[in-house]
Amino acid sequence: MSRDVPQELPAVPAAEHRGPGRAGLLRILSGLGWNTGGQIASVALNLVLTPFLLLRLGVNQYGLYALLSSFRGLLSNLDGGFGPTSSRFFAVYAGADDRRSTAGLVLTISAILTAIVGTLAGIVALLAPQITELLHSSSSLHHEAAGLLRAFMPLLLAATLRGSFQRILRSHHRWAYINISATVSTVTYVAFAMLLVGEGHGLVGLVWASVAQELVLDIAFVVAATRYFSWRDCRLLPHDVTREIARYASRVQLAAVASSFNFEIDSLLVGLIFPVRYVAYYSIGSNFASQLVSLPLNAVSPVAVTLSRTFGRSGLRSTLLEFTELQRLWVRVVAPYALIGAVCGYFGILRWLGPQERLAGAVAVILLGGQVLNLLSQVMAELGKAVNRPGLESRYLGVGVVINVVLTIPLAFTVGMLGVPIGTAIGQLVSALYFLHIAKREIDRGLRSFLADIPVLATVTATACAAALVLPAYAVAPRGAFGLLLCGVPAAVALVIHATLVGGLKRTARIVTAGASLAAPASGEPAPRDGLD
């Protein structure tokens, strides 16, 4: 190891801990299942909502809403890094069963976030007219855009403060409660949006739909999180602990900004360089790629909590042993995912929204291609944060940002709008390889490479099968959401082929029926605490 990793908590002597064990894997699988179920419900609702909004608002107003939503997403990451930092510390405190520190962290983080995000939101609200003039070229929409941006600011602060309570629930593996609450909030948003926009309230209707969604989440998460700490223990953390958290947060902030640059800022660049309708095309393709990639990423939060809890309970050695097993499982499962998604996603978007949306489909394909290596590195990224090396993520994402900046604007003026996702994709691929280099140097020189676990033959075979099957599916698929789902069938078949080649027929069958194990754990093993209790 190149250097020791500092620990906030004393390591508890552990037996030869070589992995998460059956109970730990069940918790991760349960988190994956609930997170995926919640996301599928959200995607299904938005499959209906997106064409409705395009029809009722028109491409310009929809593009404006997408543009300002991206700007709000960028602002949500400018919290000094304290929001993401609290995820790690809540999990460490949960692993050590430290309720008093959890309560202190709630108050400390909330006070800091109120000061940072509240000030930022106030400044943006004051400068909203000037900001919106920079974000798009349609002068007829300036007044409406300024009002929309101002309305987003209280929602931004509310969502930031609510995040602490949501992270407490994550640290205790309450995946069922989190996702059921999120699904209810999404249903609320879609219902209000369709009602209010359908009655002619336009973008104002979407704002009120967002308010209703936020209220549902605030009530649900605050009430549930109070089970894990006492309000009477809510005192500011000691100065030395707060200083340590601030150091950690400063490094996480760089990573958050770098990550945002590759998503939200790309939409802003499209709005600055091209007519606002191109933001709608870019947003559809980018959101499609993000939603598709985030399906397997639903396992990352449970993995992150598992690694951080192990570090808080048993120290570095046990965490590294656990990481090796988890990364191998992760890479072997998701290796062809982004490639298959790119092959099938393009045709799916054309059947969903029509052939006039080819630009959105091309954006999705390019961004999915850029995510191939980044997706494989996710468990290693969570290891870095778990063992108090958040600066690694900042550095490798920073490299991606530099490449993105250097390439995106020249490509945009030479290739056109597609130059924006091309620059982003190249930056993501290069930064993932750089991350592998610095992680091995600064965490442990013996750290296993995620490239070593790729099942190459299975990945190539599965991707080729997807390409061969999607063309006939596209030929018979109808227009609309059902056509998109039909083009997804070849992707599902290809993933099953990959799983069979990697794990064998019997093992694949056991994985498919693993839900029974989650519902009824083996005798003598505790059920994972992820339900609604």
**pLDDT band for position 281 (cuts 50, 70, 90):** confident
Q: Which two tokens stand for residue 520?
A: 């009824």
88 domain-assigned:
yes
11 domain-assigned:
no
The CA-atom distances, in angstroms, between 94 and each of 260, 312, 384, 523 are 29, 8, 19, 25
> How far, in Å, CA of 121 to CA of 199, rounded?
30
14-18, 80-84, 393-397, 404-408: lowest mean pLDDT where? Answer: 14-18
Residue 251 confidence (pLDDT) above 90: no
> How far, in Å, CA of 129 to CA of 143, rounded?
7
Residue 521 confidence (pLDDT) above 60: no
Residue 25: predicted pLDDT: 65
Q: Which two tokens stand for residue 320?
A: 């590294």
pLDDT tens, 88-105?
888 888 878 888 989 999
pLDDT tens, 305-319?
888 888 877 777 888
Rounded mean pLDDT, 195-211: 88
Query: What's the whole-model pTM score?
Result: 0.62
Rounded mean pLDDT, 509-533: 40
> How far, in Å, CA of 525 to CA of 82, rounded?
36
Rounded mean pLDDT, 122-134: 86
7 domain-assigned:
no
Rounded mean pLDDT, 125-147: 76
pLDDT tens, 399-421?
887 888 788 889 988 888 899 88
**pLDDT band for position 298 (cuts 50, 70, 90):** confident
31 domain-assigned:
yes
Residue 16: predicted pLDDT: 43
5 domain-assigned:
no
* Residue 431 belongs to domain spanning: 21-519
**pLDDT band for position 165 (cuts 50, 70, 90):** very high
In whole angstroms, how large is the CA radius of gyration of the chain?
A: 23
**pLDDT band for position 40 (cuts 50, 70, 90):** confident
DSSP per position, 147-215: HHHHHHHHHHHHHHHHHHHHHHHHHTT-HHHHHHHHHHHHHHHHHHHHHHHHTT-HHHHHHHHHHHHHH
**pLDDT band for position 528 (cuts 50, 70, 90):** very low
361-370, 441-450, 466-475: lowest mean pLDDT where? Answer: 441-450
Domain count, the chain: 1
482 domain-assigned:
yes
Residue 262: predicted pLDDT: 60
15 domain-assigned:
no
**pLDDT band for position 530 (cuts 50, 70, 90):** very low
